[in-house]
Chains A and B, each alone.
Chain A
Amino acid sequence: MTANTNLERRVAEHYASEPQLRAPDRVLHAALASIETTRQRRGLLAPWRFAYMNAYTKVAAAAVVAIAIVALGLWRFGGIGTTGPSPTPIPSPTPIPSPTAALSASQPPPPTGTFTSNMHGITMSFPTGWAVTEATAPWTTLELAGFGDTAADFIYDEGLDDGHLFLEIASQPLAGASGPAWADTIVDEPCETSATITVDGAQGLLIACTRLRAMFWSEDRGYVVLLHRSPDEAWLDDVYDTAWFEGVLATVQILPPVIGTADTFVRPFDYVLPGAPVFDYGATEATYWEVRVPAYNNAGHPGGLIAQAIGGGRVDPCDAESAVLPLDPGPDSVIQYLRTIPELTVTNASDTTVDGRPARQATVTATGGGADCAELYLWGELTESFITDLELRLVVLDVDGEHVAVTIYGEPENPELPSLADAIIGSFQFAPTE
């Protein structure tokens, strides 16, 4: 305790002695410039129009549009940063009635924004000034999502009517199918015009009809990037043409699987996280390692995995200060221990293997909140209270004498998660004991 207190004091003094850090001015300027083109989330299709803007923001937004028009000229005709004819001087920022009206007579804005799809695992550039609505659910059907559906990301020109001009992004596992076979099964407008393409090194097809649809595939996942232009606004076909769409596709990057090592864990292990959906790290500590899916969290139904070196059970799991209850070697002793706790329901217990080691898995639900047992502390290791009133899957194994429990939360709410969790757990490779 004294050692801890001394080190805490040392850390506090260290921070106190650091010079005052000030953010460079560009940080605030860039953030404020970015919010000029960022719509607040008020429900999926809430309108955002010039009518809500004050005089300052009108001028600023008009300036963005004016600069975008000039930048576009550079992008399409010669490229930014290349030598060639002198560019048109940037006009003074003058308020104009509508960005779309200006652009309809001109060219599309350059793809200077960058979007990362946490659900679908790609990054790409998109036109300046367009708004983004992120997917909050996986794409699980063979039908392409309609504008505003939660299964796809939509990047759209909000200066037009909703659904008139947008890029749509979606992906799903190939589920054993070949890429071309998968592309064949996806339902969209009938169209026989297609060409082979390569997107970030992945083979695919560009299907050009009313909509321009790129379908490409990695080893185990198929991706769709689609450009929709409303037939009600014929000028869109000329401005947002195939060449423009190919320019956007050239910016696509498929996020690769993350190969990592939990090297601070008491039993270090290697693991592989899929590129889609994107996982992030809740914690990587000596006895606690957590990865989770931000897209699920943003959608209001969190999902992820927690690996814990449990250090035994508790004599009284309702008491945070209870003594540790040693458990016999082997994974089944953990399941047996859980069955002795009245506040837990343990079902579907079955054998499995992890890293070639015998393991047991079960569905566990804890009830909490009662007067006698407000919170449950299942594990001997100092840890937070166990998640209550939520169906969890628990996979338990014995790694050379250390019980490791993997808790998967959010499976019922996130239908893609069980197979993702199985793949992640299946990738675990524990370091040999020295």
Chain B
Amino acid sequence: MQTELVGRAQHGDREAFGVLAGGAVDRLYATARHILRDAELAEDATQEALVRAWRDLPALRDAERFDAWLYRLLVNACNDVGRRRRRWRAEITVVSTEPSELDRATELADRDELERGLRRLTDAQRSVLVLSFYRGLSPTEMADALDIPVGTVKSRLHYAIDALRAALAADERSVTGTTREERMA
């Protein structure tokens, strides 16, 4: 069914594309939201990914890889949106001390800690974590979605987890002045 819709959309059928977009928009948005940690930017990235999907759909050779291809467009859109955010922040140095919407929604201390750790990662690092642990993609599927070798997926996951651990330790130091390991010693 989806393959047929993709084929129709590739030939300019906007209604078919509308059905595909309607079926994908929630998971794209949720994925972007976890990568970018910002609702407004996630909306931009999702919208941008869908428009790029429509524009470039005729170039998709294998209609069965539509989902992976869509993730690739989304991750690229997140990179673009994230880059614009970095520029904006570089130009307007506003330091927010208000807790984010996600902070307010998060009640458990453990989730707070992990949330802060995830926020310290780069968008690229969060992308692999989100695709792997949130979306549940296998390394092969992630390689397809990110257009990189499976070995690179594994190494990026490895580094992302390392970076998260370092971020958690740094967060803990900033809160308590010492690490858990140091306290245990």
Contacts and interface: CB of A to CB of B under 8 A. Distances in A.
Interface of A: 3-4, 7-8, 10-12, 14-15, 17-24, 26-28, 30-32, 34-36, 38-42, 52-54, 56-57, 255-256, 258-260, 264, 280-288, 294, 320, 382-385
Given A12-B133, A32-B21, A285 B43 contact: no
A297 to B, nearest CB: 9
B158 A382 contact: yes
Interface string B99-133: 00000010000110011001000111100011001
Contacts of B18: 32
B158 A35 contact: no
Nearest to A383: B155
Contact of B114 (A14, A23, A256): A14
Given A34-B47, A283-B124, A23 B12 contact: no
Interface of B is mostly: helix
A5 to B, nearest CB: 9
B29 A23 contact: yes
Nearest to B155: A382
B17 interface: yes
A15 B46 contact: no
B14 A282 contact: no
Contacts of B124: 281-285
B55 A38 contact: yes
Contacts of B56: 40-41
Nearest to A46: B58
B36 interface: no
Contacts of A284: 122, 124
Contacts of A52: 12
28 contacts: A4-B158, A11-B164, A14-B114, A15-B130, A18-B134, A19-B105, A20-B30, A21-B33, A23-B28, A27-B47, A31-B25, A31-B47, A31-B50, A32-B50, A34-B47, A38-B51, A39-B55, A41-B56, A54-B15, A56-B14, A258-B87, A260-B86, A280-B79, A281-B124, A284-B124, A285-B122, A286-B162, A288-B159
Interface of B: 10, 12-15, 17-18, 21-22, 25-26, 28-30, 33-34, 43, 46-47, 50-51, 54-59, 76, 79-80, 83, 86-87, 90-91, 105, 110-111, 114-115, 118, 122-125, 129-130, 133-134, 148-149, 151-152, 155-156, 158-159, 161-165
Given A282-B124, A385-B151, A40 B54 contact: yes
Contacts of A15: 34, 130, 133-134
Contacts of A288: 159
The 4 A-B residue pairs with the shortest CB-CB distance, nearest first, are A23-B29, A21-B30, A31-B50, A384-B152
A20 to B, nearest CB: 7
Contacts of A7: 161, 164-165
A24 B43 CA distance: 8
Residue among A23, A36, A255 facing the most chain B CB atoms (10 A cut-off): A23
A12 to B, nearest CB: 4
Given A15-B130, A282-B124, 18 more contacts: A3-B165, A11-B114, A11-B118, A11-B164, A19-B105, A28-B50, A31-B46, A32-B18, A35-B51, A35-B54, A41-B58, A258-B90, A260-B90, A280-B80, A283-B156, A286-B162, A382-B158, A384-B151
Nearest to A298: B56
Given A27-B43, A258-B90, A264 B163 contact: yes
B17 A35 contact: yes
B90 A259 contact: yes
Contacts of B164: 7, 11
A56 B163 contact: no
Contacts of B55: 35, 38-41
B86 to A, nearest CB: 7
A4 B87 CA distance: 33
Given A30-B47, A36-B14, A384-B151, A8 B133 contact: yes
Contacts of B59: 41
B132 to A, nearest CB: 8
A31 B51 contact: yes
Given A31-B21, A40-B57, A281 B79 contact: yes
B43 A23 contact: yes
A28 B155 contact: no
A27 to B, nearest CB: 5
Contacts of A382: 155, 158
Contacts of A32: 14, 18, 21, 50
A324 to B, nearest CB: 15
A397 to B, nearest CB: 22
A14 B105 CA distance: 13
A259 B165 CA distance: 27
B149 to A, nearest CB: 6
Contacts of A23: 25-26, 28-30, 43, 46
A14 B110 CA distance: 9
Most buried by B among A17, A30, A35: A35
A28 B21 contact: yes
A32 B159 CA distance: 37
Contacts of B57: 40
